[in-house]
Chains A and B, each alone.
Chain A
Amino acid sequence: MPAKSAKTSALRLAFTVALALPSVSGCQGVVESPLGPGGSGSKPGAVDGDGLSNTPGTDGFLGGQLDALACENRELHPGSMPGLVRLTHRQYQNAVTDLFGVESKAASEFVSDQEFYGFDNNAEKLSVDSVQTLRYRAMAEKVAAEATSNLAPLAKVVPCVSSQRNDGCRDSFLSGLLQLMFRRPLSDAELTRYRTLFAAGTTLYEEGDAFTRGLRVVIEAALQTPTFLYRAELRDTPLDGKVVQLDAYELAARLALTFWSSLPDATLMAKAESKKLGDPVELELEVRRLLDDPRASRVLDEFHAQWLEFGKLRFDKDASAFPGYDKAAFEQAARAEALTFARNMTLKESGTIADLFTSPVTWVDATLAQNYGVQAGAGVTRVELDPSQRAGLFTQTAFLAGHADALEGSPIHRGAYVQRRVLCREFGTLPPNVGTVPPASPGAATTRARVAQKTAAAACQYCHKHINPTGFAFESFDSLGRFRTQDHGEPVDATGALELDQGVPSSFSGGVQFAAELASSDKATRCYETQWFRFAYGRAEGHDDACLLREIDNKAKAKSYNLKELLVALGTSRAFRFRAQEDL
């Protein structure tokens, strides 16, 4: 049962250090390891108790200590990657939508995957248990029935299925559909297997004609086969014993799964077939084509929903304090706003990383327009909010109201989120018993005063010296995220000072100024890049990736940190085109 790996040694060290602290009732250990995690497995834990989540910490830039020179003349090796990566449930769902026009709800019907390093698509951890196998089967049977009851979407992929319906069409269907599903041409042996199944299927249903039954049984099987369910990168001719260049089909699959969260289309498969993707110029053109396609917005939404920790936002408000509050409408609007903003900034508005933190532009419906006190038209409208009050994602409603209690904003939740996910700071183990018997707060009227008082102990300050000033910057926003100047009858104090980047002190007053500090912080920029790295590659960055991250950073920097260019850099990086094998 021990199952210790080398990866946990850093963890052990971190905990040992943390627990060696004298206090038993204070915050233990802000872990700012100079080294990134050693792979996509275990990693020093960032722990927040009581509703705060845990996420990975240090960005992958070796704490800024990596000398630029150290990356020169160095072979850029990516960290190791599994050769078999199960499709995420969203990829499965999107594939079924794109191929068959069937809205399967697979992402919510399947056994949910756990989060590692803040994302639920960890390549090493995605697996299939007995329940999921049953779910795959149930889903495959349902999708196959629906897909063959209306052949119009399938006919877009294989036109003859609604017209010709003979042996020739059967073969076009098998090679055409299965090549997309498996992201590579089929071997003769495979084709024979599926042909045999097609033939058997013609008598295995009561309903439908023989040809449709054949289609149906093949779809049922193809949706359950490992050839579809796993992204396989099993080419095993390493260049130098470990690093393997992906072949054109593997690269095509990675491209589509990464930038569309779905399967390649015929164009992409044709480029794989002509081996053009091996050419860096062609590859970059293809990444840009994928990002210009509407399917790319799925990926933007998946990433930002997870980075913003949508699963942990809570919108329960006190009905008497906020009369007329409609939780369902408010929550839906707030989440949609954040996703729309991040998606449009990236794909439509040529936004930069800094713009995510500072742009007063946003997209609101009537509910949010009222919350912001602005006029908006019907439906969702692009508006510019008061730039003296609003700047970017963290002065928007989802962040502010989702990290709040029923009556008041929560500086601790707001501050801890920004520290963990925007600045990649990792907090050590929360101490036992912390604050479980809260001291009274005599004379403390404002939220800020109460938080300050209850976290005043030196032991608490080990963590809260980072969390509190960050959270206090948002004190100008109430539980609904509305701008305010008064709190419990006293003027709001949203001032603070922090070292966002090591050795660079900054001071601020309010969310707008704090957002500007984030926008100019190297650490925040690199953290955002690191979050994308983890999501796009499905793994935490390892030591080997430090130079690759630097290279991605340099490319993005050369384009003024344009968000789309960052994605292009991720899709053309050596970390994307090559993989290091895991231990055999």
Chain B
Amino acid sequence: MNRRRFLRGLGGVVIALPLLESLGFSRFAPSVARAQAAVPRRFVTFFQCNGANMSKFWPTAGFGALTPAHFAADRTLHPLLNHRDKLLLVRNMHTAPKGFGWDMNTGGDDHQKGIGHKLTGAPLDGSNFAQGISLDQFLAKQLNPQGRAPMTLGVHRVGGGGTGSISYRGAGQPVTSETNPRLAFQDLMGLKYSTTGTPTPTPTRDLQSERRKSVLDLVRADFENIRVKKLSKGDQQKLDMHFTTIRDLEKELMGGGVVAPIASGCTPLDAARVAEIQGADRGVNVSDDAQFKKIGRMQMDMIALALACDHTRVATLQWGSGAGGPTFKWDGMNHTYNHHKLSHGLDNDGNTGNAVAGYEDMLYNIDRWFCTEYAYLLDKLKAYDEGNGTLLDNSVVMWINELSDGKAHDFRDIPCVIAGSAGGQLKQGQYLNMSKVANALDAYIPDLDAPHNKLLTTIANVMGAKDTDGGPVKRFGHPNYGAAGEFTQLRV
């Protein structure tokens, strides 16, 4: 399909072509899936670690419709005041499998559980890796153009052992988040940009695509050469997974090498921002504390762009690691100890340190800072008009934490805020209790009744994912933990 036909195929929506071309979007063409009329739904996980100051997190105002009183100036969620009509505050969920040793046969410490269980609903194995696929990967397989892997980005130091990954390709297959925006951008633009990241001049012949096709032809032949040999099951799986990604590259090239804008909303980043992202690691270590905010915003800009342009419909952003995190020294904070130490109110990570005076306020400031960054992401998504609403309206943007009370490593009453309705399917502007209890932090653990995997199931279904039988997803996560069914109270 050539470009002109593609543009016509968009139902008359006019793309600001010069602008796109200036950023190398010139060779875009749509995939088949994208030619569908319906605007896709998207799912973003905004993942915070080390728990929160729970005394300030939830509103003091009661359950029900959100009002300005729910976002009082001295509460963590105050920065979301203007987004309140797009929000769902999801209260009193607990992580399943449970922490504190209450669920058997899951490995790791409470940090590792808090991360590994979160998007998988599955227990950890002996290497402290989750024994199941995560929701983002599950959804991407079904919903992404060509089943492309979801975008998995991180900020600061993530990766390495069980506290490293929220995203799992499958049981025992953690996915390492990309913490370098330059590389993430290269991946995002991989189909349209030369390796230096500068837009390719439009040649008379598209030599790059032709070359890549020739190379892929040969690579595919070499693959076939190995595939005909007698392979173990494990080898076969590995080879197939790799081969599929090669096939995907071929398919994309056949479409012209392209990520297609869905609508006029797919506005590329401006050149100055692109230059900043491409220089993200020039002379600095992207994992340094001082880069935390800068890198985070670059990653969020790219997530918004990737969703708007339908490069992916699913993305995760992991801010730091459990049992780690930066020392906050910006936006009015000037802490001496890093996030994890403060989460325990201590001056070291080993639980033998001295108490840090005023740590609760420091945690509150950190939580509020994350809330502000979450609001930044929502603003970005809101800025993309998709005709039937904004990109935010067509998304589920979940801000969720590894733990609730970090000091106790608590897995009950996990802080969870959702923005967007997946195209009108989730309620908006509501503060809702998932449990029979008023405060799960006071509940006796065996009595807990709101396992978080029900939220995962709910999201899977509002996103339009299917179970193996073709019907709605009945129970996301491991069958031995959590519960079947959705939190129906979240649905419209």
Q: Name A199's closest neighbour in chain B (CB-CB).
A: B214
Report if A451-B352 is in contact (Cβ < 8 Å); known contacts: A221-B219, A432-B110.
Answer: yes
- Which residue from A141, A230, A311 sits with its C-beta under 8 Å from B195? A141
Report if A434-B351 is in contact (Cβ < 8 Å); known contacts: A51-B324, A83-B232.
Answer: yes
CB of A128 within 8 Å of the partner chain? yes
- Which residue from A43, A227, A413 sits with its C-beta under 8 Å from B222? A227
- Which residue from A15, A197, A311 sits with its C-beta under 8 Å from B218? A197
| Residue numbers in A under 8 Å from B409 (CB-CB) | 432-433, 436
Q: List the one stretch of A1-9, A485-493, A515-523 in contact with chain B.
A: A1-9
A527–B223 Cα distance when bound, in Å, is: 39
Report if A8-B125 is in contact (Cβ < 8 Å); known contacts: A137-B190, A581-B232, A582-B234.
Answer: yes
CB of B91 within 8 Å of the partner chain? no
- Which residue from B173, B176, B218, B352 sits with its C-beta under 8 Å from A450? B352
CB of A295 within 8 Å of the partner chain? no
CB of A32 within 8 Å of the partner chain? no
| Residue numbers in B under 8 Å from A555 (CB-CB) | none
- Which residue from B104, B165, B352 sits with its C-beta under 8 Å from A412? B352
A434–B186 Cα distance when bound, in Å, is: 43
Size range of the chain B interface in the assembly:
35 or more
- Pair A24/B109 contact, Cβ less than 8 Å: no
* B153-186, CB < 8 A from A: 159-162, 164-165, 169-176, 178, 183, 186
A93-135 to B contact mask, C-beta < 8 Å, 1/0: 0000000000000000101111111000000110111111111
- Which residue from B122, B126, B350, B480 sits with its C-beta under 8 Å from A51? B350
- Pair A438/B353 contact, Cβ less than 8 Å: yes
Q: List the one stretch of B205-213, B262-270, B292-300, B388-396 in contact with chain A.
A: B205-213
A53–B128 Cα distance when bound, in Å, is: 10
CB of A19 within 8 Å of the partner chain? yes
- Pair A204/B210 contact, Cβ less than 8 Å: yes
- Which residue from B127, B234, B478 sits with its C-beta under 8 Å from A54? B127
B242-278 to A contact mask, C-beta < 8 Å, 1/0: 1001101100000000000000000000000000000
B276-309 to A contact mask, C-beta < 8 Å, 1/0: 0000000000000000000000000000000000
- Pair A84/B231 contact, Cβ less than 8 Å: yes
| Residue numbers in B under 8 Å from A124 (CB-CB) | 234
* B111-168, CB < 8 A from A: 111-112, 122, 124-129, 131-133, 148-149, 159-162, 164-165
CB of B101 within 8 Å of the partner chain? yes
- Pair A54/B128 contact, Cβ less than 8 Å: yes
CB of B239 within 8 Å of the partner chain? yes
- Which residue from A8, A50, A129 sits with its C-beta under 8 Å from B149? A129
| Residue numbers in B under 8 Å from A434 (CB-CB) | 351
| Residue numbers in B under 8 Å from A217 (CB-CB) | 211, 214-215
Q: Name B130's closest neighbour in chain A (CB-CB).
A: A1
- Pair A133/B242 contact, Cβ less than 8 Å: yes
CB of A498 within 8 Å of the partner chain? no
A389–B479 Cα distance when bound, in Å, is: 56
CB of A535 within 8 Å of the partner chain? no
A392–B101 Cα distance when bound, in Å, is: 39
- Which residue from A14, A142, A405 sits with its C-beta under 8 Å from B350? A405
- Pair A11/B107 contact, Cβ less than 8 Å: yes
CB of A359 within 8 Å of the partner chain? no
Most buried by B among A82, A84, A193, A584: A84
Ranked nearest first, the 6 interchain pairs of A and B with the lowest CB-CB distance are A435-B351, A49-B109, A432-B100, A582-B232, A3-B171, A133-B245
Q: Could you list 6 A-B pairs, sorted by A, with CB under 8 Å?
A: A1-B171, A42-B172, A51-B349, A117-B127, A436-B351, A584-B230
